[in-house]
């Protein structure tokens, strides 16, 4: 099978077209279940591997054609490895790199709509074939005044269909994630808020300039220049950054020293933002980074930024301090502030959640508890996944717990940990430390 996905000549943009696509997919999934249970009659030991693979393939194909929010949610879920069966993780992670691109005529149409002219009238050269297609937009190579540019174009209808798409994806997510209704509502509302921002390319250009300027003090981290005058609500023009995506980079068998350099750049990039800016690039999937030919980390996407209010940041990151973890009374106060322990919990429930969350924080905070950390250590990640699986099976976690900020902050930090693990990087973790408070 070819790695290059076929171009798409049209995209369903109306609510009716998009909901019809979901209904058709739902019917296919129903068929997969019937097939599975028919086979199970003759083979009672049959597991769900084939069913999961069939469902993942059908859902992914449908979301790939729809693009936008639904595909973005699939991409997010593929990063939360303990939430989904492996078949879904494998399939959905494709959206980080190679969703089917839109055809040339659709691209020209988008330029006419936003600039009133075709791309060949704006740039000296413009390649109508995209170099990279993801969940919300695709990237094209262009040239102007001898400078190589990357032009990111948002898929038609994506920005206008977020709310309706998430309503349509909700039943699939409900079935896949096993969350309670209330928990899923909190998840979807927070996702919707971030996606509305992520589809506003004018906001992304402003943030990209602001964050790349603030982070320019960091060693071995580079950013493209941005061109607001060649950008609009649905199109971004920036410098072309040469380099390899993480997987391509790892295939070159880089030295431990180079992996450590890139890992350190990633650690500093994320922790500087979290602890000094209180806002963070909240989309740490490998497709958003390049490793440049001179061994630096290139950051090419600032679409998803999560701001952390003080009443979340301080109690949450204070928990990374071993001094606070040793003080049961103060740690329970911090858990209450973060809505991890509820006001109406019984004494037994308080004790239960205190113990289980302390274990979770202890794991999360392990890289912070020493001056350096080896992210190549598989036992650390085995423990993390084991903990995630244990939690997922507990009835006590079927009700929503924790403030909404956890959704993106956890995703950001565990996403970072996973990339560092893939790099097998050894990192100095005392460069940008959390600001902590030891009493509440």
CA distances to 248, 360, 381, 389 from 81, rounded to whole Å, are 22, 16, 11, 10
In angstroms, the CA 95 to CA 107 distance is: 20
**Contact 98/133 with Cβ under 8 angstroms?**
yes
Which residue range(s) make up the domain with 47?
1-199
150 phi and psi angles, rounded to 5 deg = -110, 130
Query: In the prediction, which pLDDT does 346 show?
Result: 94
Query: Is 412 contained in some domain?
Result: yes
**Contact 238/152 with Cβ under 8 angstroms?**
yes
263 plus 381 within the same structural domain: yes
Query: In the prediction, which pLDDT does 88 show?
Result: 46
376 plus 268 within the same structural domain: yes
In angstroms, the CA 213 to CA 299 distance is: 12
193 plus 249 within the same structural domain: no
Task: Establish how many alpha carbons lie within 13 A of residue 108's alpha carbon, considering only the half-sphere containing its beta carbon.
Answer: 10
304 phi and psi angles, rounded to 5 deg = -115, 105
Query: In the prediction, which pLDDT does 328 show?
Result: 92
pTM of the entire structure? 0.77
175 plus 289 within the same structural domain: no
Question: How do residues 45-84 score in pLDDT, each as one tens digit?
Answer: 666 666 566 656 656 565 555 555 556 665 555 445 444 4
295 plus 172 within the same structural domain: no
In angstroms, the CA 168 to CA 171 distance is: 7
Three-class secondary structure of residue 142 per DSSP? strand
Query: In the prediction, which pLDDT does 95 show?
Result: 46
246 plus 195 within the same structural domain: no
Query: Is 37 contained in some domain?
Result: yes
- Per-residue DSSP letter, 309: -
In angstroms, the CA 200 to CA 194 distance is: 10
Query: In the prediction, which pLDDT does 73 show?
Result: 61
Q: Give the domain-ending residue among 171, 199, 227.
A: 199
Candidates 402, 208, 311; CA nearest to 411 is 402
428 phi and psi angles, rounded to 5 deg = -80, 115
- Burial (0-12, 13-18, 19+ Cβ within 10 Å), 383: middle
CB count in 10 Å sphere of residue 359: 14
In angstroms, the CA 26 to CA 123 distance is: 43
The structural domain count of the chain equals 2
Query: Is 234 contained in some domain?
Result: no
238 phi and psi angles, rounded to 5 deg = -145, 170
> End-to-end CA distance of the chain, in Å?
58
CA distances to 110, 339, 366, 400, 419 from 370, rounded to whole Å, are 51, 28, 7, 32, 20
DSSP letters of 42-62? H-TT--SHHHHHHHHHHHHHH
Query: Is 284 contained in some domain?
Result: yes
CA distances to 52, 89, 313, 394, 404 from 388, rounded to whole Å, are 20, 15, 23, 10, 18
With tokens 């070819």, the residue in question is: 2
In angstroms, the CA 151 to CA 141 distance is: 6
Q: Give the domain-ending residue among 136, 166, 199.
A: 199
Candidates 75, 60, 64; CA nearest to 11 is 64
- Burial (0-12, 13-18, 19+ Cβ within 10 Å), 144: middle
Which positions of the chain have pLDDT values less than 50? 1-4, 36, 78-79, 81-85, 87-88, 91-92, 95-97
Three-class secondary structure of residue 43 per DSSP? coil
433 plus 322 within the same structural domain: yes
Instruction: Tell how far CA 392 is from the center of its chain.
Output: 20
According to DSSP, the residues that pair with 148 across neighbouring strands are 143
Residues 177, 183, 188, 190: is their CA dihedral positive or negative? negative
Query: In the prediction, which pLDDT does 259 show?
Result: 97
Q: Give the domain-ending residue among 165, 182, 199.
A: 199
259 plus 397 within the same structural domain: yes
Query: Is 277 contained in some domain?
Result: yes
In angstroms, the CA 379 to CA 392 distance is: 20
With tokens 């936008």, the residue in question is: 68
Query: In the prediction, which pLDDT does 82 show?
Result: 45
191 plus 310 within the same structural domain: no
161 plus 282 within the same structural domain: no
In angstroms, the CA 62 to CA 10 distance is: 13
**Contact 77/88 with Cβ under 8 angstroms?**
yes
Query: Is 87 contained in some domain?
Result: yes
192 plus 262 within the same structural domain: no
The tokens for 19 are 């909901």
Three-class secondary structure of residue 344 per DSSP? coil
CB count in 10 Å sphere of residue 34: 10
- Burial (0-12, 13-18, 19+ Cβ within 10 Å), 126: buried
For the chain, percent helix, then strand, then coil, each to nearest 5? 55, 10, 30
195 plus 248 within the same structural domain: no
Query: Is 231 contained in some domain?
Result: no
Query: Is 212 contained in some domain?
Result: no
């Amino acid at each position: 099978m070819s790695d290059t996905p076929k171009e798409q000549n049209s995209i369903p943009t109306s609510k009716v077209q998009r909901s019809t696509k979901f209904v058709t997919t739902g019917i296919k999934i129903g068929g997969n279940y019937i097939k599975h249970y028919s086979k199970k009659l003759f083979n009672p030991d049959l597991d769900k591997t084939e069913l999961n693979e069939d469902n993942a393939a059908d859902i992914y194909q449908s979301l790939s054609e729809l693009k936008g929010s639904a595909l973005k949610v699939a991409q997010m879920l593929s990063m939360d490895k303990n939430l989904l069966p492996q078949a879904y993780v494998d399939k959905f992670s494709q959206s980080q790199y190679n969703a089917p691109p839109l055809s040339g005529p659709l691209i020209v149409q988008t330029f006419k709509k936003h600039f009133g002219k075709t791309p060949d009238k704006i740039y000296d050269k413009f390649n109508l074939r995209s170099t990279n297609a993801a969940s919300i937009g695709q990237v094209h190579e262009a040239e102007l005044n001898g400078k190589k540019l990357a032009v990111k174009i948002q898929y038609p209808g994506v920005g206008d269909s977020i709310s309706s798409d998430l309503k349509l994806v909700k039943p699939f997510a409900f079935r896949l994630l096993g969350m309670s209704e209330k928990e899923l509502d909190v998840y979807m509302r927070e996702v919707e808020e971030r996606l509305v921002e992520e589809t506003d390319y004018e906001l992304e250009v402003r943030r990209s300039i602001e964050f790349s300027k603030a982070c320019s003090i960091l060693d071995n981290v580079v950013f493209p220049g941005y061109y607001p005058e060649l950008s609009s609500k649905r199109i971004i023009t920036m410098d072309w950054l040469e380099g390899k995506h993480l997987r391509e980079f790892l295939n070159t068998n880089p030295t431990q020293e180079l992996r450590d350099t890139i890992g350190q750049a990633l650690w500093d990039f994320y922790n500087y933002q979290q602890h000094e800016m209180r806002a963070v690039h909240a989309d740490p999937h490998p497709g958003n980074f390049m490793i440049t030919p001179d061994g630096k980390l290139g950051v090419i996407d600032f679409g998803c930024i999560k701001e952390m209010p003080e009443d979340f940041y301080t109690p949450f990151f204070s928990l990374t301090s071993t001094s606070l973890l040793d003080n049961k009374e103060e740690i329970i106060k911090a858990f209450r502030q973060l809505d991890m322990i509820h006001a109406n919990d019984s004494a037994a429930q308080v004790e239960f959640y205190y113990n289980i969350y302390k274990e979770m924080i202890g794991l999360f905070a392990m890289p912070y508890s020493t001056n350096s950390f080896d992210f190549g250590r598989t036992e650390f990640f085995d423990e993390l996944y084991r903990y995630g699986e244990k939690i997922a099976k507990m009835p006590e976690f079927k009700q929503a717990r924790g403030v909404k900020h956890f959704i993106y902050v956890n995703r950001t930090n565990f996403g970072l940990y996973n990339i560092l693990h893939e790099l097998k990087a050894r990192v100095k973790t005392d460069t940008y430390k959390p600001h902590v408070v030891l009493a509440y």
